[in-house]
Amino acid sequence: MLFSQTGGIKGIVSADGEPLPGVTVTIKNTSLGAVTDLDGYYEIRGIPAGQKVIRFSFVGYSPVEKTVVIEQGKTLTANMSLSETQVMLDEIVISEKSRDASDTETSILDLEPDQAKVLPGAGEDVLRTLQALPGIVAPNDFSSQLIVRGSGPDQNLIIIDNVEIFNPYRLYGFISMFNPDAVSDITLLTGGFPTKYGDRLSAVLDVSNKEGSTRTGIMGSLNASVTNANLVLEGKNPFNIKGSWLLNSRRTYYDLLLEPFAKSAGLVEENSAFPNFYDVQAKVTFGPFDGHKFNLFGIYSADGVDIVSGNERNSPDSISVNNITRNDVVGFTWDYAPDANFFLQTTLSWYRNGGDAAFNSQVLDPSLNREAFKDFSADTIRPYLLNFRFNTEFEFQKYSWETKSNLLWGNGNIFEAGVGMDILRTTLIFDFQFDPQLLAFLGSNPNFRSSIDDVRDTKTYNRYKAYVQNKFNLWDKVFINPGVRLDH
């Protein structure tokens, strides 16, 4: 009888469109309350029916009170958005204090994306910001790649929204694919990482992209730096669908501004190259059912360089090089959390890293004396030039499925398990085209034919993985985290 006279309330607390964990939600004049979880979700049951005042409070945010009517046998949904506030303090003295050993994890480093915009030498790049951390260096001053504790960059496991990325770089490693305006969380594990991460030796970089703001239908920003321009659009889903969307795009403008200016001003005479890159990232989040959350995201990007011979050069030969590298990602994630103790996540994804390069060249007939043509004009020497073209294409594709779960049990113990499968496909193409006269000249070398044959090769492999681990909370400040992993 008492149960029928009570109801419940649930909802999500956010700030600036992002879920806000740790918010205290209380029913005034009662002992009932709850604290929001990592997704900003709260739920309070057993509330006596009638008009109640709910209070939302969190340090650094203005408290909010909301009056609601609790109906018998029903659960009311009440979402709330908090605003930051300034807290005025008296004079304080800061002194050194030892850290609680239970809060210290030496191998885990967290980074705020905004730090990439302000740290000296970071160049508004997330990976370059990580190079300032202890134990991490770069191969050279022009690379955003990471060398962790002496191992190569290929021994770092890089994950974005639960999808493994093999080549997270732009412009041959000069800048990374991670846009500070689109990233929400960055975690770097430099050693001792648990069994749920595998297939690498040095480090794990786990990156999460932002979710769009749910405050308005659409909002955006446009900014430009020395290297690129960046556009961000975001908003809540249309048609009253619970969730949000975010669209982000950036592009360099070396080739758009500097190249035409340099050529028109006569600044380019010899061979010149103007690199460029662009990317588009999108993320849609929606949760039509209680306890369920769906994320769909994608990244489309390309970078390359064009090299063209100038009008004035000391050699009659000429070259034209076009190189493009592509990185594309599509991922879908389903999160299921029926209560605060159990979490299940399934991810389906597709990743592609590929590119093509075209090398075109005109060379003087090797049977002629080059010195005799040194002072000839381009029009005069054209009949004596032979063409050579070399095209190469490479492509790596990965189709993935992974399901993992977390279970909180006992006194703070966490059990985790996961299983997954990858289909890996590689394609490599080499295509050579020679002028018949040049081919006849090169054919006189007995090793020529075997070394320059066309190549077209595709290979497909399967990769399987499974892991089980459990974090045991033995007693205060002491825990162990054993686990077993299988990769095949």
What one-character-per-residue DSSP string does 74-101 give? -EEE--EE--B-------------PPPG
Q: pLDDT per residue over 60-80, tens digit each?
A: 888 999 999 988 878 898 999
Measured in degrees and rounded to the nearest 5, phi and psi for residue 391 equal -115, 135
Residue pair 209/160 in contact (Cβ under 8 Å)? The answer is yes
Parts of the chain with a pLDDT under 70? 1-4, 86-106, 113-124, 254, 258-273, 306-321, 365-384, 438-439, 442-452
414-427 in b/e burial notation, b at 16+ Cβ within 10 A?
A: bbbbbebebebebe
Residue 353 CB neighbours (<10 A):
20
Nearest CA to 245 among 292, 209, 278, 289?
Answer: 209
Contacts of 276 (CB under 8 A, 6+ apart): 251, 252, 254, 255, 256, 303, 304, 305
In one letter, which amino acid is 56?
Answer: F
Q: pLDDT per residue over 254-279, tens digit each?
A: 677 766 666 665 555 555 667 788 88
CA-CA distance, 201 to 186, in Å (whole number)? 19
CA-CA distance, 472 to 162, in Å (whole number)? 25
pLDDT on residue 297: 95
pLDDT on residue 101: 43
pLDDT on residue 474: 82
Nearest CA to 144 among 132, 135, 134?
Answer: 132
**Among 3.40.140.10, 2.60.40.10, 1.10.10.350, 3.30.70.20, what is the CATH number of 3-81?**
2.60.40.10
Rounded to a whole number of angstroms, the CA Rg of the chain reads 29
Nearest CA to 340 among 33, 23, 39?
Answer: 39
Residue 340 vs residues 37, 160, 234, 407, 408: alpha-carbon distances, Å: 8, 25, 29, 9, 8
pLDDT on residue 280: 92
pLDDT on residue 146: 82
For the chain, report the end-to-end CA distance as a whole number of angstroms: 58
Question: In a 10 Å sphere around its CB, with 0-12 CB exposed, 13-18 middle and 19+ buried, how is residue 11 labelled?
Answer: buried
Residue 305 CB neighbours (<10 A):
19
The residues spanned by each domain of the chain are: 3-81, 105-208, 253-487
Whether the predicted model's global pTM rises above the 0.85 cut: no
Which run of H or E residues covers position 465? strand 455-475
In the block, which residue shows the tokens 């997270």? Answer: 168
Question: In a 10 Å sphere around its CB, with 0-12 CB exposed, 13-18 middle and 19+ buried, how is residue 480 labelled?
Answer: exposed
- Fold type of domain 105-208: Ferric Hydroxamate Uptake Protein; Chain A, domain 1 (2.170.130)
3-state secondary structure (DSSP) of residue 259: helix
Locate 43 and state its tokens. 């739920």
**Among 2.170.130.10, 3.40.640.10, 2.60.40.10, 2.40.170.20, what is the CATH number of 253-487?**
2.40.170.20
Residue 205 CB neighbours (<10 A):
26
User: E strands, 2-134, where?
Assistant: 6-15, 18-19, 24-27, 33-35, 41-48, 50-58, 61-70, 75-77, 80-81, 108-111
Nearest CA to 56 among 30, 19, 28, 85?
Answer: 28
* DSSP line for 200-241: -SSEEEEEEEPPPPSSSS-EEEEEE-SSEEEEEEEEE-STT-
